[in-house]
Structure 1
Amino acid sequence: MVYTIEFSDTDRGLKMKSEYQQETVHKEVVIIGNGPSGIALSYMLSGNLPYLTSTSHPDEMLATRLSTVGADGCLIDADLEFLASGLEGRSTNPVSLLLDALSHPCADVGMEEEPLVEFRKNGKEIDHVVLGKGLPGGSWHNMDPQILTLSLGSWMSLPGLPFNSKSSGEKRVYASSVAKYYVQYVEQMNLGKYFRNGVIVTNVQPMAEIYANGFLEHAKEDMNWVRKIEENDSINLCGNLDSKNKFKKCIISNAINYLWNRRNKKSNKCCKRPRDEQIIHEQSPDRKIREVEANCIEDESGQSETEYTDSHILCDSSNNSDFSVYCVRKLRSHDSTPVPSFFKISSCRYSEKVNWMVEAQDLDTGDITTYTCKYLVLANGCSDVPNKLNLSTGIEPDWLLYDLRTLVWCLDEKISEDPLHRMDPVLVVGAGLSAADAVIEVRGRNIPVLHAFRNKSGDLNRLLPEKMYPEYHKVHQMMRNQSSNYPLYTSYPEYTLTRLNEKKHTVVLSPKDGPPVELKVSYVIVLIGSRPDLTFLPSDADIAVKHNLPIDGKTNAVNIDKMTHKVKGYDNLYAVGTLAGDNFVRFISGGALAVVAELYKINEVNET
């Protein structure tokens, strides 16, 4: 539901719009992040549910448990905790392991069996929005397009659309192919209407916190969401007058305006949400939510008059009978998206409908949209912010980089400018697979590599079989064998980058024992992991398993209930994907299933 606000300048008798382009939209579910996790969740929220097609699983114990699923085979109604019991794999989340076991039976032992589950559009459509900075697919669009995936191409697919790569004859596929697949997936699955791409989430606030701070029922007169109405005032927003003539908006308006007031922005908003009791008789799968646009019309005498073109009674009070309604507005109805019959439109009481407020800013226009929702899902991954070394260099030089795609672009630019020029070495810092990718890319351009890493290289065979990942094993071999000479490669095990000299283009590497080394370089790329950008959460939010430590997908995920993916300690907040510890795409759909199953359970959805 969308509304716009106009308010008048009573001194000049003019009607003018706010200098800030704002709108407020209510959704049942807001998903932050449009990567694979957000896409899979949107697919299921749009009514696509998993059904068993067979119980003949190679794992006999799982097959026995699957036989207990209802006659229709729908997993939404099944006992997921029972079905997932005893399963093991590369995820710590039971439902993720379960759906993966049904989608890729015994994949970890090299078997390629047909899936035992299919998705059917038999569910209810839950109104939601997916917010993302770029194109659907998230961070896959930021990767070096020529990097091969760790997972097999078939494991990169999302429910309902197999991944078929034509760009590589290998079982692993290029990152560029995966990024294109996710864009195509959203288009072919008709999910585009749920996606708002090119926006950044700037603020998230729980309604309960605002209510507890007393900004809803006992707002002070000196704050901008409470105004005294004089007899001749022309008010262009709906509100209420008590016996003391104090202007009071509904709680949602108050909360939105409070947040805008904290940012020193003009705020004059009113919630335009239909009352539950007015629409309860209209609930059906075909019922439409109406868009409401509030405008004010003044007659020649300067008095405000009201014109209605919609019969809905709107929420403009806190359901307090002591207040009389004072409204000046014009309503216009427009068709919008269907509302699922099992989700009621909210009343004015925030606790029954609105639990979260999310502000999102358009990266192109700067316009801000405030979303109110009952359920909030964090699906924004863990690759937003690169980890950095503690270097006291002040302003970082432009030859210090943190992502491989930028390095590759810089190197190719230098080579194209002067193909015969011999470049100084590139320093790669880090011991992970991303650092190995950098080593491969730089050496592939006949540029020397200096490779510094803190710890001696471990055994890669336990993680990645050499037959499937020969390029990584080659880099690992070079990292371990100090006595051998490899072309265009020099390793510095147990060395740390401690200093940069911007003018001389040099770096200082300090060993665990011994004197430091100064080296001339062309570029430095630091690849030591990344973390999510959760700065939009309240400053006191502590949602990690290891409290007060940074969140990352490998060692410190979000503290969730493993069966429902609800964030512990918060109402109606969920986390999926790498934030929840699922670091491979093949497990992501299971997290989405856990969330959707919980929402169906909460709202007692009965399929028809």
Structure 2
Amino acid sequence: MLPDRKMYGLLNRPQSKSGFKPLPVVIIGNGPSGICLSYLLSGYVPYLKRHSIHPHPILQRKLEEAPDISILDQSIEGSMITLSRGDWMGLPDLPFKDWLKQKRRGLRNNRATAEDIAQYYQHYVMKKGLQKNFSCDTVVTSVKKVSAESISNHAQKDLQESSDSLWNLNEKSTEVFQVDGFFKTVKGDKEPFSIYAENVVLATGTYDGPTWLGVKGENLSYVHHQLSALEEAVKNIGVMSDPVLIVGAGLTAADAILFAHHCNIPVIHVFRRRVSDPGLIFNQLPKMMYPEYHKVHQMMKEQSAACAGPYECYVSFPEHHVLSFGKDKKCIIQDKNGYQKAYKISMALVLTGSNPNLSFLPNNGMDLAMDSDQPVNPKRNPIDVDPFTYECTQEKGLYALGPLAGDNFVRFVQGGALAVARSLLKKANKNPP
């Protein structure tokens, strides 16, 4: 068992360079990626589920060859991500739909909200006994690699005499990661900490910095950049209200449309691409696997301003963009030919993507990206990782999970976490717990 749980105890008292042994791994982030990896590093061992069928025939045959051997111990051909065919929002061994049914709320009749999903993840951590691995209200301000020469004599001794460690450090190198930050006390004070780790996993997600359009009036109070704003406003908006403007053609925008459609809220949907554009995410998703998103794609095609369709309370404006937002809640949009239209709206949701906050890494993590001259972006420029281990190609011992590595679906998180867990266990030169 990998003692990532040690981090919790260390962060519950002020830290300094006082000679603590380096931790085997520190996971930064408390979203689905970090939770799933913590689960796999806490003694839960994945095996092939009896009578289950994987849609990839080669993987199915490979798994059936050794059903009694943990997947962590098997050599799987192809990227580990292909194993992650889990439920839509689910984590291992507790399907999201099953949990939601326990709340007596079926997905068919009542669409899950962001609050539901957050509660599910919190419940998962408690149910699986993982809370000891997490340190809440903790902010990491710096992650850097340091050598034995740059740290205290006590820490050097710990690095060299880690005989009871699960890990075999490279004899030629005693480099470790120094993780600095602070945690917030009950009184609101900030208490600093500084710890060392042999491996660090980046699982912070990408929702720290929503993308702005950069147009006039975007800072007005009725213009929002988070889906949660619609969920909070729904009690004041109804079928007779002015429509909600949704800008964007990604999955978050689709979630907003589905939520509004369920609540009978009228929607104006503006996006720059053609509906048939191959780069549009909906044209890349299997219809059978993502029926709800396929429905949104149908609405975008069949219910445009130029062609009335069967869907009430919704109209799409492909190949349009927003020019400005007015104080009178009027929004001006423009098509590709320069023709402008004005609409009175109740609120606007600009959901055109987001960027991670990697300010705690040298050069904001740009040196780790596929294109090191550009900022890290989950869609266009993710962190460059080994597809079999998710270890950063530019920094050994540093891993990236989830959207940071280009995995923008929660259902793919399990495969990435499995790859990282397998790599860490291999480094530890130990059998899985």
Q: Where on the TM-score scale, by shorter chain, does this alignment land: which range?
A: 0.7 to 0.9
Kindly indicate whether the alpha-carbon contact (under 8 Å) linking 1:457 and 1:479 is maintained by their aligned counterparts in 2. no
1:192 aligns to 2:131 (yes or no)? yes
Provide Cα deviations, 1:81-108, integer angstroms capped at 9, x if missing partner.
xx224xxxxxxxx11213x36xx6xxxx
1:589 aligns to 2:414 (yes or no)? yes
Q: SS where residue 592 of structure 1 aligns? A: helix
Q: SS where residue 180 of structure 1 aligns? A: helix
Provide Cα deviations, 1:378-413, integer angstroms capped at 9, x if missing partner.
1112222211112255x811111111221332352x
The change in CA–CA distance for 1:374 and 1:408 in structure 2 (over 3 A counts) is same
Partner of 1:29: 25
The change in CA–CA distance for 1:97 and 1:358 in structure 2 (over 3 A counts) is farther
The change in CA–CA distance for 1:443 and 1:39 in structure 2 (over 3 A counts) is closer
Distance of 1:4 and 1:179 partners within structure 2: 24
Partner of 1:207: 146
Q: SS where residue 435 of structure 1 aligns? A: helix
1:174 aligns to 2:171 (yes or no)? no
Distance of 1:77 and 1:510 partners within structure 2: 56
Provide Cα deviations, 1:335-372, integer angstroms capped at 9, x if missing partner.
xxxxxx5236999x9x4262332324438433232232
The change in CA–CA distance for 1:583 and 1:451 in structure 2 (over 3 A counts) is closer
Partner of 1:450: 268
Deviation at 1:30, TM superposition (A): 1.0
- Look up the equivalent residue of 1:252 and give its one-letter code: I
Distance of 1:565 and 1:523 partners within structure 2: 40
Query: Higher helix share goes to which structure?
Result: 2
The change in CA–CA distance for 1:272 and 1:523 in structure 2 (over 3 A counts) is same
Distance of 1:354 and 1:63 partners within structure 2: 39
Distance of 1:581 and 1:359 partners within structure 2: 26
- Look up the equivalent residue of 1:158 and give its one-letter code: L
Distance of 1:4 and 1:483 partners within structure 2: 60
Q: SS where residue 570 of structure 1 aligns? A: coil
Kindly indicate whether the alpha-carbon contact (under 8 Å) linking 2:247 and 2:350 is maintained by their aligned counterparts in 1. yes
Partner of 2:383: 558
Partner of 2:256: 438
Partner of 1:500: 325
Deviation at 1:182, TM superposition (A): 2.0
Partner of 2:203: 379
Kindly name which structure, 1 or 2, has the bigger radius of gyration based on alpha carbons. Answer: 1
Map of 1:268-279 to 2, 5 A cutoff? 275=158
The change in CA–CA distance for 1:513 and 1:607 in structure 2 (over 3 A counts) is closer
Kindly indicate whether the alpha-carbon contact (under 8 Å) linking 2:146 and 2:175 is maintained by their aligned counterparts in 1. no
Kindly indicate whether the alpha-carbon contact (under 8 Å) linking 2:248 and 2:350 is maintained by their aligned counterparts in 1. yes
Distance of 2:355 and 2:137 partners within structure 1: 21
Deviation at 1:532, TM superposition (A): 1.8
Distance of 2:24 and 2:58 partners within structure 1: 38
The change in CA–CA distance for 1:493 and 1:343 in structure 2 (over 3 A counts) is closer
Q: SS where residue 174 of structure 1 aligns? A: coil
Deviation at 1:491, TM superposition (A): 3.6
RMSD of the alignment, in Å? 3.9
Distance of 2:401 and 2:272 partners within structure 1: 31
Partner of 2:213: 389
Alignment equivalent of 1:547, drawn from 372, 381, 387 = 372
TM-score, scaled relative to structure 2:
0.78
- Look up the equivalent residue of 2:131 and give its one-letter code: G
Partner of 1:311: none
Distance of 2:411 and 2:266 partners within structure 1: 36
The change in CA–CA distance for 1:436 and 1:189 in structure 2 (over 3 A counts) is closer
Distance of 2:214 and 2:300 partners within structure 1: 26
Partner of 1:97: 82
Alignment equivalent of 1:40, drawn from 33, 36, 43 = 36
Deviation at 1:607, TM superposition (A): 6.2
Distance of 2:319 and 2:246 partners within structure 1: 13
Alignment equivalent of 1:183, drawn from 118, 122, 132 = 122
Deviation at 1:192, TM superposition (A): 1.0
Partner of 2:6: none
1:357 aligns to 2:353 (yes or no)? no
Deviation at 1:604, TM superposition (A): 1.8
1:408 aligns to 2:307 (yes or no)? no
Q: How many residues align?
A: 405
- Look up the equivalent residue of 2:422 and give its one-letter code: A
How many percent identity over aligned positions?
Answer: 33
Kindly indicate whether the alpha-carbon contact (under 8 Å) linking 1:559 and 1:580 is maintained by their aligned counterparts in 2. yes
- Look up the equivalent residue of 2:227 and give its one-letter code: L
1:463 aligns to 2:285 (yes or no)? yes
- Look up the equivalent residue of 2:352 and give its one-letter code: I
The change in CA–CA distance for 1:424 and 1:276 in structure 2 (over 3 A counts) is closer
The change in CA–CA distance for 1:369 and 1:475 in structure 2 (over 3 A counts) is farther
- Look up the equivalent residue of 1:33 and give its one-letter code: G
Q: SS where residue 331 of structure 2 aligns? A: strand
Alignment equivalent of 1:399, drawn from 222, 228, 243 = 222
Distance of 1:462 and 1:568 partners within structure 2: 27
Partner of 2:5: none
- Look up the equivalent residue of 2:82 and give its one-letter code: L
Provide Cα deviations, 1:33-70, integer angstroms capped at 9, x if missing partner.
1111111111122232334566996766445534665x
1:157 aligns to 2:142 (yes or no)? no
Deviation at 1:461, TM superposition (A): 7.1
Kindly indicate whether the alpha-carbon contact (under 8 Å) linking 2:247 and 2:271 is maintained by their aligned counterparts in 1. yes
Partner of 1:84: 77
The change in CA–CA distance for 1:360 and 1:482 in structure 2 (over 3 A counts) is farther
Map of 1:571-590 to 2, 5 A cutoff? 571-590=396-415
Partner of 2:429: 604
The change in CA–CA distance for 1:279 and 1:370 in structure 2 (over 3 A counts) is closer
Distance of 2:300 and 2:375 partners within structure 1: 28
Query: Higher strand share goes to which structure?
Result: 1
1:75 aligns to 2:14 (yes or no)? no
Q: SS where residue 367 of structure 1 aligns? A: strand
Provide Cα deviations, 1:536-595, integer angstroms capped at 9, x if missing partner.
211264222233334333333210011111101112100112222223333322212211
TM-score, scaled relative to structure 1:
0.58
Q: SS where residue 27 of structure 1 aligns? A: coil
1:484 aligns to 2:335 (yes or no)? no
Kindly indicate whether the alpha-carbon contact (under 8 Å) linking 2:222 and 2:348 is maintained by their aligned counterparts in 1. yes
